[in-house]
Structure 1
């Protein structure tokens, strides 16, 4: 357990900090009197967040916010992010490997470029972040690392297998990291964030897709040509728009950091679904499809008209 005051004057790094959960995390840490590195593949968005933190008077006690453009799918970029952070502040104490993208469709039809893009950002980006920043946090006297996974890392919804595969990997990496740090560097805590539906622009992440993975795309193109996949994409977009506010997610993450708590969940409905999945698996049952907020009782994929107990 730590106190909020313990973090004052320390340094946080947030990837995917230019929007959504990442931007909310940057603000939450700044409110705790920390300096913040706003890291994002979108340099303009990162600069925007850093500017607002400064102009809104959020930063106190000499804390600063600096933007750094980074493609977390590049090991060299992430290493450079670590070096730039140390050059600017001389230490780093709290790191959120939060950058993420999405793509989907039928597992056997999803283009390999989509698979590679999602895996490089969502999984390899976290691997690179862990490799770069754990030694720096240790060298700075300790702190905490938060990896953003998803409830799709504990469940396996259809038509989004690249995303789910990557997020399952993040959960596994994070849990192993937690144990490893407990053995070797107990001064460093670890958490995994598994959000459900949150009001972010992750379904628009294709706008920043690099040329090596096919260039910019829209979420609407996922599952194009397959009615069920396309319908699911429409539903996901609506559920994201009506999801939890990123600021509320940031509050949950901050609470977990202070309590040195590993699991960070955002909704009881998803927790119940993951628990039921585990019970069914150990009972030898075939997978049962449930997605909070989605009615899958007929051929049409759509949001629930009425909540069920």
Structure 2
């Protein structure tokens, strides 16, 4: 997909971080931009930013974990713009502790947003794109955590591994039917976003009394490691720029920071050599 002007982009998790940067880049490419997020105030702020820059924008408050919200998002997009050409399944959250200390509510919230959000959007938007018969592209925001192995960030890591597999399978299935829909999976390492404070958007239904577990020394250390990495990470704009280069070249795997390739290489070697998993810490962290 090389031509973006006047095409329609839908971005979930668009109110901040990578989603906001993708929205800004879409506007620069003179696309019509549909913003989706649960953060109402921040969503309105991004909408106003883009409109002030002259972009045509539609903002839809959307909880991607709810199928009805994605259906509403799709319908409003069609009603206003008549099509969708670029879909960014970008919304994501993190919660919980170790595998055994994380609560059921932690698992439900993270998996419902990170994985089911993409499943809902895929099932609703892909048929629309196929019916259009036009050149389209889907980008699923996974993570380096979906390509390597290591301790901590447990539920997030599981959800992102699943999202990588979903993306790979979708790529193969669309290719088999010779569709005009391209697919990419975005796997950044540390990026300067608010992912460590995702709890700000945690619904009450996933925060019942007794569900919160006191962090252990190990989980606290891992959390601090992740926060430090995020603070030193690349900018969301860099991620958006790499993403558009990948879309233009129809490249599936998007790794914006090449310094993070070593953990991925080590995991592949461990699998092929049938070695036990190795935890590789990026050299610059």
1:176 aligns with 2:173: no
Higher relative contact order (CA 8 A, sep 6+): 2
Residue in structure 2 matched with residue 95 of structure 1 by the alignment: 87
The 3-state SS of whatever aligns with 1:17 is: coil
1:15 aligns with 2:29: no
Q: CA deviation at 1:281?
A: 2.0
Conserved? CA contact 2:103–2:213, under 8 Å: no
Residue in structure 2 matched with residue 122 of structure 1 by the alignment: 114
Residue in structure 1 matched with residue 143 of structure 2 by the alignment: 150
Q: CA deviation at 1:256?
A: 0.9
1:213-264 Cα deviation digits (max 9, x unpaired): 117xxxxx99743111101101211210111000000001111111111010
Q: 1:214 aligns with which of 207, 222, 230?
A: 207
Query: How many residues matched?
Result: 283
What is the alpha-carbon distance in structure 2 between the residues aligned to residue 282 and residue 97 of structure 1?
31
Task: Specify whether residues 192 and 222 from structure 1 end up closer, same or farther in structure 2 by C-alpha distance, changes over 3 A only.
Answer: farther
What is the alpha-carbon distance in structure 1 between the residues aligned to residue 87 and residue 130 of structure 2?
12
Residue in structure 1 matched with residue 66 of structure 2 by the alignment: 74
Structure 1: runs of 5 or more not aligned: 216-220, 295-303, 305-309
Structure 2: runs of 5 or more not aligned: none
CA RMSD for the aligned pairs? 1.8
1:107 aligns with 2:107: no
Q: 1:267 aligns with which of 225, 249, 257?
A: 257
What is the alpha-carbon distance in structure 1 between the residues aligned to residue 205 and residue 89 of structure 2?
22
Residue in structure 1 matched with residue 187 of structure 2 by the alignment: 194
Conserved? CA contact 2:149–2:267, under 8 Å: no
Conserved? CA contact 2:141–2:186, under 8 Å: yes
Task: Specify whether residues 46 and 185 from structure 1 end up closer, same or farther in structure 2 by C-alpha distance, changes over 3 A only.
Answer: farther
Runs of 4+ in 1 over 6 A off after TM superposition: none
Residue in structure 2 matched with residue 299 of structure 1 by the alignment: none
Q: 2:225 aligns with which of 235, 241, 252?
A: 235
Matches within 5 A, 1:270-285: 270-285=260-275
